[in-house]
Structure 1
Amino acid sequence: MNLRTRRSLAALAAVTALVAGATACEEQDAAKGTKGGKPAAAEEKGGGNPVSALTAAFKKTSEVRTAHLEMTMTVPGAQGGEITMSGVQGWDPALLDVTMSGGALGGGQAGAPEEIRAVMVDNVMYMDMGKAAAAEMDGKRWMKLDYAEIGKAAEEAGGAEAGGLSGAMNENMNQDPTESLGILLESPNVRSLGSEKVNGLQAEHYKGTVPVKEMIDSNKAFAELDKEQRDRLAATVEQAGVKSYEIEVWVTEDDLPTRMNVVMDSAVGKMKVKMDLSDFGTKAKVTAPPASETFDLAEMMSGAGAGA
């Protein structure tokens, strides 16, 4: 594989990791946000508004398990600025089958495809890199991103915090709306902003902020880190100018979220994620591409050594 192709793959993998990490607040471990399958905040605060409404949405969304996803992510400082994603997602079990596009995805690299199909099954992401990649990779066009394996390589090179961060990416690849609702219920300042029409539906608007340290402490992807390591990781993120995540959700009269927004303020600007959901309960079957058409990014990284 030539240097240009290697750089293109590296750029695309980096942006994919960015998509995963930036939406971390939407993928928090339910161990902190739930007790016996119900949001802890609902038990502690009773049935008051907006807690009761968000609790009902949590329960209903947990039952439907699939939805159609339309997502837009604004990446500060990236060429092209935006990434869009459209397709189907599922939770319990986690799955994803989407088409990704946008100038920020290719990072300006020559030969990068304008659109990339991405599927996730068994917590592994596969990205269709197109004909150009296949020509360089003996006919293999699908790049496999197993963040558990990437995390092991990162830990060997950069310590437990690096491995934990890659582990978080593995946990955060799928946009599970139930966990978004769970962590919003844990927000110390969740509030109702009234009724609005969104995606053609009347919906109640709720908003709250989640501190970075609380996010890291509550995410099972960082369970392998001790308190000192988690504190260092939180301090590093805060040094980058990120102190908290702002989360918004619009819930319809059917107790389902029609839109979720996340804003992360950083030293390089605001990273924004808008996720629209529809067709809850839609049938979805996602399968991994054949192994004969797949090349493994983790193996490439290991083969390239620490310099990768």
Structure 2
Amino acid sequence: MNSMYRTAAVTALGGLLLCSTVACSSSDTADSASSSPSVSSSAVEMTPVAAIKRAAGKNEKITSLSYTMEGKVPGEGAVSGDVAMSVKPPAMRMKMTGESEGEKEEIEILLTSDGMYMGGDSAAADPEMNGKRWIKFPFDSFDKATAETGENPLGGLSSQVDRNPAAESGALALAEDLKKVGEETVDGVKTTHYTGSLPLSAMKAELKGLDAETKKKREKSLKAYEDMGIDKLTMDMWIDGDDLTKQFRTRGTTKSGPLDMTVKFGEYNKPVEIKAPPASEVVDLAEMMNGAEAS
């Protein structure tokens, strides 16, 4: 498979992991924050912890969202992306720009109920694609490869589609040094900026009490950070007047260098429809690999 696609897969995974920080506050905490008296946060000066928990409570209820991400992924260089995703049912559409062999590349990624599609207009120029625009990575092929090798060939990207980065920003409430930075405007929206840092060990401690499915997802996310060599994350969160996360930044030090990823959130709970590409425009990964082996 062309290195462009391998690099895009790794970069996409890194972007999703880095912009989607692990939510370690329990659902009970989120529920209590969201069920508190309906008083505007601008009318009452809340503590930083209360503000983060209130936003986390609202973010947990999001069913779909759009966001942009921009930053640096260790080992992959600069990355930027434009994403629309549905949390229930899980689906995602991403257009991203990254680096492959020192050159800037653009790629599109679709995640649907039957697998991941990677490609777009630029893919058709690849001789291996025979003029088609998309490569399909069926989810069952990930499972088979994982069973045989012990590793998912795309590092677990398929498991990231139902992760809501806005909801997961609630981890910041765990930071012992959490503080309010001040009032700032993000894309024309007035927000309050908070910052803090916390070790992964604190995130692990908060896994107790979570339901089995949520705990499993967050354990995978924590392991991904550990595999990068990260032991502490610095987070910045900008909350708007409706107590929704407008922007979230994650920084840390990995064994491959520093990471720095910023997510800016756009629309919430707007319909997101993502369909698989026409079969005539799709090359199945298994067929491509079998063809390469035969030649």
TM-score bucket (shorter structure)? 0.7 to 0.9
Q: CA deviation at 1:24?
A: 5.2
Q: Is structure 2 residue 136 aligned with structure 1 residue 136?
A: no
C-alpha distance in structure 2 between counterparts of 1:273 and 1:235, whole Å: 14
- Kindly indicate whether the alpha-carbon contact (under 8 Å) linking 1:75 and 1:271 is maintained by their aligned counterparts in 2: yes
Corresponding residue for residue 284 of structure 1 = 272
Distance 1:64 1:221, change over 3 A: closer
Q: CA deviation at 1:304?
A: 8.2
- Kindly indicate whether the alpha-carbon contact (under 8 Å) linking 1:150 and 1:298 is maintained by their aligned counterparts in 2: no
Letter aligned with residue 247 of structure 1: M
1:18 counterpart SS class: helix
Distance 1:196 1:74, change over 3 A: same
1:287 counterpart SS class: coil
Distance 1:74 1:253, change over 3 A: same
1:153 counterpart SS class: helix
C-alpha distance in structure 1 between counterparts of 2:225 and 2:264, whole Å: 32
Corresponding residue for residue 116 of structure 2 = 125
Comparing both structures, which one devotes a greater share of its residues to helix?
Answer: 1
Matches within 5 A, 1:146-185: 146=138, 149-157=141-149, 159=150, 162=151, 166-167=155-156, 169-173=157-161, 176-185=164-173
Size of the alignment, in residue pairs? 274
Corresponding residue for residue 251 of structure 1 = 239
C-alpha distance in structure 2 between counterparts of 1:121 and 1:64, whole Å: 19
Distance 1:73 1:223, change over 3 A: closer
- Kindly indicate whether the alpha-carbon contact (under 8 Å) linking 1:213 and 1:234 is maintained by their aligned counterparts in 2: no
The superposition leaves residues 41-64 of structure 1 with CA deviations (integer Å, 9 ceiling, x where unpaired) of x99xxx962232223222333444
Corresponding residue for residue 67 of structure 1 = 65
Matches within 5 A, 1:217-296: 218=207, 219-221=215-217, 237=227, 241-296=229-284
The superposition leaves residues 126-148 of structure 1 with CA deviations (integer Å, 9 ceiling, x where unpaired) of 22252123x42344321234567
Corresponding residue for residue 26 of structure 2 = 33
C-alpha distance in structure 2 between counterparts of 1:216 and 1:145, whole Å: 31
Distance 1:131 1:181, change over 3 A: same
C-alpha distance in structure 1 between counterparts of 2:239 and 2:219, whole Å: 31
Letter aligned with residue 101 of structure 2: G
1:258 counterpart SS class: strand
- Kindly indicate whether the alpha-carbon contact (under 8 Å) linking 1:196 and 1:205 is maintained by their aligned counterparts in 2: yes
Q: CA deviation at 1:72?
A: 0.5
C-alpha distance in structure 1 between counterparts of 2:154 and 2:119, whole Å: 24
1:38 counterpart SS class: helix
C-alpha distance in structure 1 between counterparts of 2:289 and 2:13, whole Å: 15
- Kindly indicate whether the alpha-carbon contact (under 8 Å) linking 1:212 and 1:234 is maintained by their aligned counterparts in 2: no
- Uncovered stretches (5+) of structure 1, i.e. residues with no partner: 225-229
- Uncovered stretches (5+) of structure 2, i.e. residues with no partner: 37-44, 208-214
Cα RMSD for the two superposed structures: 3.9
Q: Is structure 2 residue 79 aligned with structure 1 residue 83?
A: yes
Corresponding residue for residue 54 of structure 2 = 56
Q: CA deviation at 1:302?
A: 8.9
Alignment partner of 1:212 out of 175, 200, 207: 200
Alignment partner of 2:97 out of 97, 101, 106: 101
Q: CA deviation at 1:195?
A: 1.8
- Kindly indicate whether the alpha-carbon contact (under 8 Å) linking 1:147 and 1:166 is maintained by their aligned counterparts in 2: no
Corresponding residue for residue 6 of structure 1 = 2
- Kindly indicate whether the alpha-carbon contact (under 8 Å) linking 2:19 and 2:69 is maintained by their aligned counterparts in 1: no
1:17 counterpart SS class: helix
